[in-house]
Chains A and B, each alone.
Chain A
Amino acid sequence: MPDRRLVLLALLLAAAAAAFLLIGARGSWSFLLAFRGQRLLALALVGAAVGVATVMFQTVSGNRILTPAIMGFDALYLLIQSGLVMALGATAYVQIDPRAKFLAEAAVMMLAASTLFAALLGRGRSDLYRLLLVGIIFGTLFRSLTNLVQRLIDPNEFAIFQGAAFARFSNVDTGLLAAAALLVALGAGYGWAARHALDVATLGREAAVSLGVEHDRLSRRTLIAVALLVSATTALVGPVTFFGLLVASLAYVLFPEPRHGLLLPAAALIGATALVAGQTLFERLLGMASTLSVVVEFGGGFLFLFLLLWRRR
C-alpha cells in the first residue's frame, strides 16, 4: 500500500499540472495541449530530477546543507558547454545534432564529476566545513573559468552560449526533452535500485561498511548518477542553485525516517509540484510580474543561511 503522504503529494502534482494546462486556455485544444504539455513535462522532469539528485547527494556526502549546485556541479556543466563553443566555434557548435551534443556533454560531466568529487567526498566526508569550502572554491573556479572563456570567444559565440547560462523556466528547451528524460531515468533509476544501500549510508561511512555496504563504490556511483541528473536539468533550464535545497529540506520534514524508498519519490513529487505550480502562478496569475527563478533563489538562499546558522548539528 503506498504511503499516504506520497499519495497526497501525487494529488498535489496532478492539481498543479491541471492548473498549468487549463488556466487561461484559449484557442485550439490540440495545439494548446501539445504546446503546454511539452513544457509541463519539461518542468516536472526538471523539478523531479533536482529533488532526487539533491537527496542522493546529501546522503552520500553525509550532510543536509550542501547540494550538487552549491558544490558547483552545474557550474561544471556550463564550463564544459563554454569550452565546447570555444573549441568548435559557433557555426560548428550550432550544427552539431543537439541531442548528440547533449549526451556527449553529459558523458564528459559524469567523468569529471566522478573523478573530481568522488576523490574529495570519499574519506573526509564527515567534515562539513571542509566540504563547504571545497564546494565554494570549486564553484567559483568553474564560474570564473567559464567567464574567462566567455571573454575569449567572439560575440556571436557568446550570444549562443548565453542562451544556456541562465535559468529559464518560461522558455524551456523542449527539443532535448527525450534525451534529458533518458538521463533522468538512468540517474533516478540508479537511486531507486540503491535505495536500501542509501538508507544504510545515512548511518555514516564506518557503520555502513560494517554492515556490508561498499561505501566508496556507492558514493562514486551515486555521484555519477547525480551528475547525470544535473546535466539533464541544466541543459533544459539552466542552473538553479538553491532549488534542490528547498525541495530536499521539505522532503526531510515530511519523511523524517531515512527510507529512500519514500524519500526519493517524495523529493521527485515535491520538486515537480513546486516548479509546475510556481510557473503557473507566475505565468498565468501574476502575468509574468516576476520570474520563478528569482523567487526560488531568494527563498532558497534564506533557507540555506537558516540551515547553516541555526540548524547545524
Chain B
Amino acid sequence: MIAVENVSHRIGGAAILTDVSLAIPRGGLTALIGPNGAGKSTLLSLVARLTPLQAGRVTVDGLDVSRTPSRDLARKLAILRQDPAIAARLTVRDLVGFGRYPHSRGRPGLEDAAAVEAAIERFALGPLAGRFLDELSGGQRQRALVAMTFAQETDYILLDEPLNNLDMVFARALMRALRALADDAGRTIVVVLHEINYAAAWADHIVALRDGRVVGTGTPEAIVSTQALRAAFGTDIEVTRIAGRLVALHHA
C-alpha cells in the first residue's frame, strides 16, 4: 500500500499540494485525474522521492520514502516521468538495460538479459532494439521508456502521463499491458491520465485532484459521473454509456 499522510508542498510561494492524505491499495490500477496544475505530477514525484518531502509522510509497504535508502526503494518502486530529456546517445536495448541497474548494479547477468528481452518483447520493440533513441519518433521513444520502467520489475510502477505521444493503437496496447501487469503479476500501477475515458475503461480506482486537494476517490462508476467530474474539473461533462462502458463526452 502507498500511504500519503498530510502531505503539503509549495514551490516558490505557490501551494501545489495542500494537506493531501491518500491510501492507494496494493494491487490493481489506480488512475490520478484532474485538471492541469492540480498537483498530480508533484504528488507522483513526492511518492517516488524524486522531490524531497516538505511536510507530511509517504510510505510504500511501510517503507518511509524519505528515509529508506534509494537503492532499496528502486527495487520496490519505479517511476517514469513525463518526457524525460535523455542527452546520452543510447540504443533502445541499452536504455531498457538501465532498468536492471537496481538489481545488477552495473554487472548484468543472465537473469537481467532475460528481463531486458522480455520487456522488449512485451512492448513490441524488437525491430527497434538496435536503434538510437534520437532516431525514434516520440511514441516509439515513450514505449522504450515504459519498457525500461517495466524491466525494473518492481511491485509498484508509477507512470506520469504515459499515453503522451502514443497513437490510439499503442495507447490501448499500453493500457492493456498495464492491466495485465496488475492482473497477472500482481503489480500495483499508478498512472496519471488526462483522457478520462481511459481511466473509466481500465482503472480499478480513480483519485481526482483539484488545486492541490483530493476531491474524490472511488471506482470508475463513482467518479466518472457528471457530478463528480464537475467537482474535479469545474465544468459540466455529459457522461453516458456506450456498449456497456461509461463514456465521458468531453470532446465536443
Report A's interface with B, CB cutoff 8 A. Answer: 62-64, 126, 195-197, 199-200, 202-204, 206-207, 209-214, 256-258, 313
Contacts and interface: CB of A to CB of B under 8 A. Distances in A.
Given A212-B75, A257-B94, A313 B87 contact: yes
B50 A209 contact: yes
Interface stretch (B14-22, B98-106, B136-144, B188-196): B98-106
Contacts, number: 76
A144 to B, nearest CB: 32
Contacts of A63: 87
Contact of A211 (B45, B89, B94, B101): B101
Contact of B89 (A200, A207, A209, A257): A257
Nearest to B145: A207
Interface of A is mostly: loop
Given A196-B101, A211-B101, A203 B152 contact: no
B50 A258 contact: no
B89 A212 contact: no
B102 A202 contact: no
A206 B94 contact: no
A247 B248 CA distance: 58
B84 interface: yes
6 contacts: A197-B106, A200-B101, A202-B87, A204-B84, A212-B71, A213-B70
The 9 closest A-B pairs by CB, nearest first: A196-B106, A212-B74, A202-B88, A212-B71, A258-B88, A212-B102, A211-B101, A256-B89, A210-B79
B90 A258 contact: yes
Interface of B is mostly: loop
Contacts of B78: 210
Contacts of A199: 98, 106
Interface string B44-63: 01001110000000000000
Given A212-B74, A213-B71, 18 more contacts: A62-B87, A64-B87, A197-B106, A202-B88, A206-B45, A206-B84, A207-B81, A209-B70, A210-B48, A210-B74, A211-B152, A212-B72, A213-B101, A214-B69, A214-B70, A214-B71, A257-B91, A258-B88
Contacts of B152: 211
Contacts of A64: 87
Interface residues of B, number: 33
A37 to B, nearest CB: 37
Nearest to A256: B89
A71 B92 CA distance: 33
A212 B84 CA distance: 16
A203 B99 CA distance: 11
Nearest to B71: A212
Nearest to B95: A203
Contacts of B3: none
Contacts of B107: 196
A207 B90 CA distance: 14
B242 interface: no
Contacts of B80: 210
Contacts of B71: 212-214
A136 B86 CA distance: 25
A207 B102 contact: no
B85 A126 contact: yes
A237 B86 CA distance: 36
A211 B102 contact: yes
B84 A257 contact: no
B73 interface: yes
Contacts of B45: 206
